[in-house]
Amino acid sequence: MISGEITDISNKEQLSLVLRYVDPENLLVREDLMSFLECDTTRITGRGLSNKILGCLNDYELDITKQGGQAYDGAGNVAGSIKGTAGLINTKYPLAFYLHCASHSLNHAVVKFLQVTSVHIMMGVVDRVSAKFYRRVSFQYER
């Protein structure tokens, strides 16, 4: 299970819930968005979020005892080993070990990286140069 919080355009806190699983028919790993759960801003605590997540999984009639893991962005309300969402779910379901979602770290690094003016300018130059090379190669193939 992978979950993350985001504020939508109407300024409401949303919790995305994605399940990663092995499809038993073709043995392929799949990731499916299960739901966006609206969160009351006064209940964005480890307990509130874990209740929201477990309630959603229960609504889909999924066997939570077979849950093999949980991934979040590392914020205290989700990552805490005692009062965080991860700790509370892991207490009830010991196979649901917590893993920090690496894509969140990469996203934060790229955002910070692109805030540096010289890097931003360099990326624009690289984009324009690569576009010229692409057009030149495309033109050669047309001949």
Domain edges within the chain: 2-100, 102-143
| pLDDT of 49 above 60 | yes
What does the pLDDT look like over 90-121, one tens digit per residue? Answer: 888 888 887 777 666 666 677 777 788 888 78
Among 20-24, 41-45, 61-65, which stretch is predicted with the lowest mean pLDDT? 41-45
> Residue 141 contacts by C-beta under 8 Å, 6 or more apart in sequence?
none
Closest CA to 70 of 57, 89, 84, 91: 89
How much is the pLDDT for 32?
A: 93
Tokens representing 11 are: 């300024």
Closest CA to 14 of 23, 4, 22: 4
CB 58 within 8 A of CB 64: yes
- pTM of the predicted structure, to 2 decimals: 0.64
